Amino acid sequence: MEIHNNVTEFVFLGLFMNPEMKILSCMLFMLCYFAIFLGNLIIFITITCSHLIQQPMYYFLCHLSLMDLAYTSTIIPRLVRDLAAQRKNISFRSCMTQLFTGHFLAGVEMFILVSMAFDRYVAICKPLHYMVIVTRQRCNMLILLAWGVAFWHSVAQMLMVLKLPFCGPNQIDHYICDVKPLLKLACADTYIASILVIANSGMVALATFLVLLASYIIILYNLRKRSSEVRHKALSTCGSHVMVVVLFFAPCIAIYVPPPSVSVNDKEITMFYAVITPLLNPLIYTLRNMEMKNAMRKVWKQKRPSR
Return the closest-CA partner of residue 71 out of 42, 31, 109: 109
pLDDT of residue 263: 63
Cα–Cα dist 196/155, whole Å:
13
Cα–Cα dist 71/50, whole Å:
25
Could you tell me which residues are beta bridge partners of residue 90?
10
Mapped to the 3 state alphabet, what secondary structure does the chain carry? CCCCCCCCEEEECCCCCCHHHHHHHHHHHHHHHHHHHHHHHHHHHHHHCCHHHHCHHHHHHHHHHHHHHHHHHHHHHHHHHHHHCCCCEEEHHHHHHHHHHHHHHHHHHHHHHHHHHHHHHHHHHCHHHHHHHCCHHHHHHHHHHHHHHHHHHHHHHHHHHHCCCCCCCCEECCCCCCHHHHHCCCCCCCHHHHHHHHHHHHHHHHHHHHHHHHHHHHHHHHHHHCCHHHHHHHHHHHHHHHHHHHHHHHHHHHHHCCCCCCCCCHHHHHHHHHHHHHHHHHHHHHHCCHHHHHHHHHHHHHHCCCC
Cα–Cα dist 199/193, whole Å:
10
Are 90 and 10 within 8 A, CB to CB? Answer: yes
pLDDT tens for each residue of 239-250: 778 888 888 899
Query: What CATH architecture applies to the domain 9-302?
Result: Up-down Bundle (1.20)
Cα–Cα dist 252/266, whole Å:
10
Cα–Cα dist 103/151, whole Å:
8
What are the extents of the domains in the chain?
A: 9-302
Q: Which residues contact 218 (CB under 8 A, 6 or more apart)?
A: 121, 125
What's the pTM? Answer: 0.88
Neighbours of 199 (CB within 10 A): 12
pLDDT tens for each residue of 130-179: 999 999 999 999 999 999 999 999 999 899 888 888 887 788 888 889 88
pLDDT by 10s per residue, the chain, length 307: 445 567 788 888 877 666 677 788 888 999 999 999 999 999 999 999 888 899 999 999 999 999 999 999 999 999 888 888 778 889 889 999 999 999 999 999 999 999 999 998 898 888 888 999 999 999 999 999 999 999 999 999 899 888 888 887 788 888 889 888 888 888 888 888 888 888 888 888 999 999 999 988 888 888 777 777 767 777 777 777 888 888 889 999 988 888 766 666 788 888 888 898 899 888 888 776 777 888 888 887 766 555 4
Are 293 and 46 within 8 A, CB to CB? Answer: no
Are 242 and 216 within 8 A, CB to CB? Answer: yes
- Measured over the CA atoms of residue 66, residue 51, residue 138 and residue 238, the dihedral's sign is negative
